[in-house]
Structure 1
Amino acid sequence: MEIFQIPIFHKINKEELDLLRQQGCMRQQQFLKNTTIFHMGDTISELGIVLSGSVVVENTDLWGNRSILSHISQGQVFAETYALCGEPMMVSAITAEPSEILFLNLERLQYLSPKAASCRSVIMQNLLRISVQKNLILSNRIFCTTPKTIRERLLIYLTGQAVRTGSTAFEIPFDRQGMADYLNLDRSALSKELGKMRKEGILDFHKNKFTLYQKLD
């Protein structure tokens, strides 16, 4: 993905990007699938930007229970809150597939030369806009995990995906285990309920492709 297409660099020109690299604010790195980029407990000053591939942000408790909080796709930012506040991370960021990540050092961004300093406020404004959008995404996850029954959680999540894509046929960014982790459900119970819903004519699916048959309100 071209850096100019990334939302956090909206209105930043090539010369300014080159200056950011020269002053040590940016670096790129490639990762294999299932590689931990940031660990829970890390204190960081860099945020990550997905140039290719994808990343999941997840939490694992002391008993090994895993919850996926968000799926970060190409062009999106992750770990920006921790990079800004300097608090130990309560989550881990792990590649869902082979990925290339661009790191932006927010600490070094504060000490740019006068020539490059003009882009600092633009980046922070873009970051604020991105953070607001991500808060909406996290709010949607809360909606999905609040209902007590598996079916209710599935219907809220899948309806949301249909609304987002504008179609009752869509792909989700998770495999079955990832979907269970995102919705805080047991995988076998999730699969069993999906099977029931298919038999009842509510939906159909193949791997991560779903089709909803009941009319959406």
Structure 2
Amino acid sequence: MKNMIHPIFGSLSEEELEALKMHTRIHEKNIKKNTIIFHFGDLVTETGIVLSGSVHIETTDFWGNTSLLSNVEAGGVFAETYSLCHEPMMVDVAAASDCRILFMDMEFLHDPTLSGYSWHQKMLSNMLSISIRKNLTLSHRIFCTSPKTIRERLLTYLSSQAGKTGSSSFQIPFNRQQMADYLNLDRSALSKELGKMRDEGLIIFHKNQFTLLHPALNESH
């Protein structure tokens, strides 16, 4: 395992990485699509690092309605807050595709006898940076689900994806049901609104590939 495999190990030297591995348990696992990696209510001590594939962070209510909170792709981290705070999981973590996950037990961060080591301080700093970025991801979902109408939510989400990729053409990480879950919308209502937006010349889409258009420019041609 190289120290540049993920930002969670950022700035650690080879010697520091070896010291870290001596004080915690790190292991990799191949996981099949749709497998629940962590369940609601689990007490976990491990943080998951997605090496390949992707996972979904989901919440399901008493009646079985699922909301998709976020998609964690290769390079992303999940369950870091729960593993550090010793709080039961309030979400499910499911494999969105076949994936390979690196699991790291985070108990060492609570060991005061290790606080004087440089690698320990660096890991604390790296975890703080990752948690801040995760908070931004969750804030983005709140921003996308705040508008009252279906179209406003779609425009907000698609515009943000265009801004994120720097292009008016982009792929989203969701199928239609997942997109509806992420935006807290009924799937049929979402599909109907996407069709209207396509007919009005606002978008072109095929599966999860989208292109945003300016109707006024289209009419001029």
Do Structure 1 and Structure 2 share a fold, with TM-score over 0.5?
A: yes
Q: Which stretch has the larger CA shift, 129-138 or 21-30?
A: 21-30
Task: Please say if 1:172 is aligned against 2:172.
Answer: yes
Kindly indicate whether the alpha-carbon contact (under 8 Å) linking 2:24 and 2:107 is maintained by their aligned counterparts in 1: no
Larger Rg, first or second structure (1 or 2): 2
TM-score (norm 1): 0.92
Alpha carbons of structure 1 residues 20 and 113: separation in structure 2 relative to 1, 3 Å: farther
- Cα shift at 1:136: 1.3
SS at match of 1:4: coil
TM-score (norm 2): 0.91
Write the distance in 2 (CA, Å) between the matches of 1:83 and 1:143.
27
Alpha carbons of structure 1 residues 119 and 40: separation in structure 2 relative to 1, 3 Å: same
Write the distance in 1 (CA, Å) between the matches of 2:199 and 2:62.
38
Write the distance in 2 (CA, Å) between the matches of 1:2 and 1:64.
41
User: Runs of 5+ in structure 1 lacking a partner?
Assistant: none
**Number of the residue aligned with 2:21:** 21
Report the RMSD for the aligned CA atoms in angstroms.
Answer: 2.0
**Number of the residue aligned with 2:75:** 75
**Number of the residue aligned with 1:63:** 63
Q: Which stretch has the larger CA shift, 69-78 or 5-14?
A: 5-14
**Number of the residue aligned with 1:119:** 119
SS at match of 2:4: helix
Letter in 1 for 2:106: L
**Number of the residue aligned with 1:199:** 199
Q: Percent identity?
A: 56
Aligned positions, number: 215
Q: Which stretch has the larger CA shift, 76-85 or 14-23?
A: 14-23
Superposition pairs for residues 32-51 of structure 1, below 5 Å? 32-51=32-51
Alpha carbons of structure 1 residues 92 and 3: separation in structure 2 relative to 1, 3 Å: farther
SS at match of 1:58: strand
Kindly indicate whether the alpha-carbon contact (under 8 Å) linking 1:168 and 1:211 is maintained by their aligned counterparts in 2: yes
Q: For residues 52-110 of structure 1, give each alpha carbon's deviation from its aligned partner in whole angstroms, at most 9, with x where no partner exists.
A: 11111010011010001111011111111111111111101111001111111111344
Letter in 1 for 2:145: T
